[in-house]
Amino acid sequence: MKLSKAFIPTLKEVPADAIIPSHVLMLRTGMVRMLSAGIYSFLPLGYTVVKKVVEIIREEMDAIGGQEFHLPALNPKEIWEETNRVEAFGDTMFHIKNRDYVLAPTHEEIMTYHAKGVVKSYKDMPQIWYQIQTKFRNEPRPKSGVIRGRQFLMKDAYSFDTSWENLDKSYALHDQAYRNIFKRCDLKYFIVGASSGAMGGNRSEEFMVKSEAGEDTVAHCEKCGYAANVEVATSVVEGAPRNENSLELKEISTPNVKSIDELCRFLNINETQCAKSRVYIHNDKPVLVLMLGNDEVNETKLASVLPGALRPGHPDELKEITGADAGSIGPIGFKGRIIADLRLKDANNLYSGANKNDCHLGGIDLKRDVPNLEYFDLRTVQAEETCTRCGSKLDVFKAIELGHIFKLGTRYSEALGATFLDENGKVNPIIMGSYGIGVERVIACYIEQHNDEKGIIWDKTLAPYQLHLMGLNMKKPEVIEASNKIYDDLKAMGYQVLFDDRVDAQAGFKFNDADLLGLPVQIIVGDKNLKENKVEVKIRKSGERFTIEIDRLYDKLKELI
Ligand code: ATP
Ligand code: MG
C-alpha cells in the first residue's frame, strides 16, 4: 500500500480523555475513530489488525473441532425472556423500540435454540460451535477506547456434551486453544478462577492481563502463577501476637477518639494492638465483625460467611444496637453474634470500643472475654503479602479480562428445553459450556504491552503490514526509481508492505510516522546510500539500524520476518 494513497490519518494530538497507551495510539495511528461514546469505527489500518487476530482465533478454534456460525445480532426478545436474561442484563441490554427485539449481548440463547431438537441423541455430541461477531452492551461507563465498548467483536463458542466428564474435555480444549491464541498474539496473561456472573453456571476461568484500564483488582504471584480477584484472594499474613500474660480489662476515657489511627496516637500504641468493630445487619439481626487494626472488611468474603440479606448497619441504628456511635463500638457486652478476622485469632491485650461514647476498653483477651468467637478470613489481600501457595510475594494490580471460559452446565438447555436421548433412551438436558474472547481487547492489550514513547511496536504476527518502506526524498529520480522497484519486488515476494512514497513529507516526519505506526522492519531508501547501492534497515523493536546492499536485502528480510 502506498501511503500517498492510503487512508491512514495519523494524529499528533488526541482528545484529553484518551489516557492509556492503547487508546492514545489507536487514535494516533489512525486505526480507529470514535463515533460516539463506546462506539468505534475501525479504519483500514485497524481493521487489517482485526482480520489478523480473527484469523488466529479461527485457526485455533478450527483446530479443536470448532464449527463456525454467523448468528443474527437482532434477536426476538421472547427467547431471552425464556431464560430470564432480559431481567438479568437489565439496562445493559439494548432494546429495539418499534419491535420486540433486542440486540444480542452474547449468544447462549440463540445457539441453544439451534441445538434444540437437532442435537437430540448422545450420538450427535460433542459439538463445538462458534462465531466471530458483533455484540451490543449498553455499558454504563464506556472507556479506555475499544477496551470497553458498547458494540464490540467477540469470538463466542459453545460446547454441547452428554455429561460433565465430556464437558471437562471440551473445556480443556478451549483452555488450550486460548493459550495458543494468546501466545501467538504475544500477550502476557494470567488465569484467574472466577464466579460466572450473569451467565450462570459452575466453574469458570478468566484470562487476564495487567492494565491500568482494568476494572478488576487481582492478586498475582509471578512465581507460581497464583492469581485471584482481591474479592476472594488469600495470603499469609501475620496475626496479632498473644502475650504470655493477659492484662485486666480496663475502661479508658478517650474523648473524641474515633478512628484506629486516633486511638493509636492517643494511647501511644500500635495498630496491631487494636480490634476495629463493624456492625452488619444479617437477616435482620446485628452481627459484629472484628478486624485487626486498619484492615477493612472484605464484603465479598463476609457475604460468603453470612449468606442471605446482609448490609452495613446505618449510623442511626448503631446507638440503639450497641449503646454507642461508630468509633466507640466493641465486642465486650455486644448483644449478638460476633465474628473476627483470622489475624485476631486468640489475641489478647487488645484495645477496642467500650460500647459507650468516648470510651474504649484495654486489656481485652478474645479467648477469655469473648466466648464462642468465630474466626474467618475476612480481609482483603494487600501487595507484598506472602503467597499461600509458594511463599513468594504477591503483587496486587488492576487487570482486564481478555477471555473467559465457563462451564454452563444445564442453565440454558433446561430453560429452552434442549434435551437429548442418552444411551439408555433417557431424556437429559444437554451439558453446555461457553467461551468468549474480545477481539478488540486482544488488540488493545497487545498495544498496552508493546509500545514505547514513539509509538506501537508490532510483532510480525499482528502487524498490519510487515515492512515499512520509505523513500526519503521522493523528488529525486534515483530514489523514486529504486524505492518503487524495491516496493514491487517485495510485493511480488509476498510481503505486506507499506510504502511511504509521499513527496512533500520531510524525512523527520516520515521517521516519526514509521516509529508511530511501529511496523516491525523499516527500509529506508535515501540518495546517499543509493550511491553505494545500499539501503538502511531499522528494526523497530530493538532500534538497531544497519545499511545493506539492495541485492542482499531480500535474503536478510527472510531472516528477519
Ligand atoms: P467485563 O467484566 O470486562 O465486563 P464480561 O465478563 O462482561 O467482561 P464476557 O461476558 O465474559 O465479559 O465476554 C467475553 C469477552 O468479551 C470478555 O472476556 C472481553 O474480552 C469481551 N468484552 C466484554 N465486554 C466488552 C466490552 N464492553 N467491550 C469490549 N470487549 C468486551
Ligand atoms: Mg461485562
Q: What are 104-142's pLDDT values in tens digits?
A: 999 999 999 999 989 999 999 999 999 999 999 999 999
Euclidean distance between CA atoms 100 and 289, whole angstroms: 48
pLDDT of residue 213: 86
Identify the nearest ligand to the CA of 192 by its number: 1
Of ligand 1's listed atoms, the one at least distance from the Cα of 442 is: 20
Give DSSP secondary structure letters for 62-110. Answer: HHTT-EE----SEEEHHHHHHTTHHHHHGGGSEE-TTSSEEE-S--HHH
Number of H helices, E strands in the chain: 16, 31
Mean pLDDT of 320-324: 94
CA trace torsion 138, 140, 146, 147 (10° rounding): -120
Q: Indicate whether 490 pLDDT > 80.
A: yes
Q: Are 510 and 549 in contact (CB under 8 A)?
A: no
Of ligand 1's listed atoms, the one at least distance from the Cα of 400 is: 3
Same domain, 80 and 209: yes
pLDDT of residue 215: 87
CA trace torsion 30, 36, 41, 45 (10° rounding): 10
Position 461 in a domain: no
Range of the domain at 539: 467-560
Same domain, 178 and 282: no
Whether 135 is in the pocket of ligand 1, judged by its Cβ within 6 Å, is: no
pLDDT of residue 143: 87
Whether 149 is in the pocket of ligand 1, judged by its Cβ within 6 Å, is: yes
Task: Tally the domains of the chain.
Answer: 3
Q: Indicate whether 467 pLDDT > 80.
A: yes
Euclidean distance between CA atoms 201 and 405, whole angstroms: 11
Any idea what the CATH number is for the domain that residue 108 is in?
3.30.930.10
In Å, how far are 124, 165, 203 from 409, measured between CA atoms?
A: 17, 11, 9
Any idea what the CATH number is for the domain that residue 341 is in?
3.90.960.10
Q: How confident is the model at residue 202 (pLDDT cuts 50, 70, 90)?
A: low
pLDDT of residue 197: 44
Whether 440 is in the pocket of ligand 1, judged by its Cβ within 6 Å, is: yes
CA dihedral for 60, 61, 67, 71, sign (positive or negative): negative
Position 365 in a domain: yes
Identify the nearest ligand to the CA of 106 by its number: 1
Tell me which H or E stretch contains 462.
none
Any idea what the CATH number is for the domain that residue 528 is in?
3.40.50.800
Mean pLDDT of 156-183: 97
Number of CB atoms found within 10 A of residue 203's CB: 16
Flag whether the pTM goes above 0.85. Answer: yes
Q: 397 CA distance to ligand 2 centroid (A)?
A: 19
Same domain, 122 and 225: yes
Which residue, of 376, 405, 432, is where some domain finishes? Answer: 376
Same domain, 156 and 255: no
Whether 398 is in the pocket of ligand 1, judged by its Cβ within 6 Å, is: no
Q: Indicate whether 199 pLDDT > 50.
A: no
Euclidean distance between CA atoms 29 and 10, whole angstroms: 5
For residue 499, give the C-alpha cell: 510504502
Of ligand 1's listed atoms, the one at least distance from the Cα of 105 is: 10
Same domain, 110 and 228: yes
Tell me which H or E stretch contains 301.
helix 299-305
348 closest CA partner among 414, 265, 275 = 275
Tell me which H or E stretch contains 179.
helix 164-184
Give DSSP secondary structure letters for 483-549. Answer: HHHHHHHHHHTT--EEEE--SS--HHHHHHHHHHHT-SEEEEE-HHHHTTTEEEEEETTT--EEEEE
Mean pLDDT of 63-75: 98
Same domain, 471 and 323: no
Q: How would you classify the pairing of strands 216-220 and 395-409?
A: antiparallel
Q: Whose CA is nearest to atom 8 of ligand 1?
A: 401
Q: Whose CA is nearest to atom 1 of ligand 1?
A: 401
Position 13 in a domain: no
Query: Residues 259, 262, 267, CA angle at the centre, nearest 5°?
Result: 125
Same domain, 356 and 434: no
Position 8 in a domain: no
Same domain, 371 and 496: no
212-265: pLDDT as tens digits? 889 899 999 999 999 999 988 999 999 998 999 999 999 999 999 999 999 999
Q: 471 CA distance to ligand 2 centroid (A)?
A: 46
Position 126 in a domain: yes
Identify the nearest ligand to the CA of 398 by its number: 1
Q: 437 CA distance to ligand 1 centroid (A)?
A: 8
Mean pLDDT of 416-428: 97
pLDDT of residue 196: 42
Q: Is residue 239 classed exposed, middle or buried when 0-12, 13-18 and 19+ CB atoms within 10 A define those classes? A: middle
Residue 443 CA to its chain's centroid (Å)? 13
Residue 284 CA to its chain's centroid (Å)? 36
Position 271 in a domain: yes
Q: Where are the alpha helices (DSSP H) in 358-434?
A: 366-369, 411-416
Which residue, of 345, 376, 407, is where some domain finishes? Answer: 376
Position 456 in a domain: no
Same domain, 432 and 507: no
Give the 3-state secondary structure of residue 8.
coil
Of ligand 1's listed atoms, the one at least distance from the Cα of 438 is: 20
Same domain, 113 and 49: yes
Same domain, 254 and 339: yes
pLDDT > 90 in the chain, percent: 94
Give the 3-state secondary structure of residue 351.
strand
Mean pLDDT of 177-199: 83
Same domain, 289 and 264: yes
Euclidean distance between CA atoms 111 and 117, whole angstroms: 12
Q: Are 403 and 411 in contact (CB under 8 A)?
A: no
Euclidean distance between CA atoms 381 and 298, whole angstroms: 9
Position 33 in a domain: yes
Q: Are 501 and 474 in contact (CB under 8 A)?
A: yes
14-67: pLDDT as tens digits? 989 999 999 999 999 999 999 999 999 999 999 999 999 999 999 999 999 999
Residue to probe by mutation, ligand 1, list 40, 441, 442, most atoms within 8 Å of CB:
441
Q: 438 CA distance to ligand 1 centroid (A)?
A: 6
Q: Whose CA is nearest to atom 30 of ligand 1?
A: 438
Tell me which H or E stretch contains 143.
none
Q: Whose CA is nearest to atom 21 of ligand 1?
A: 438
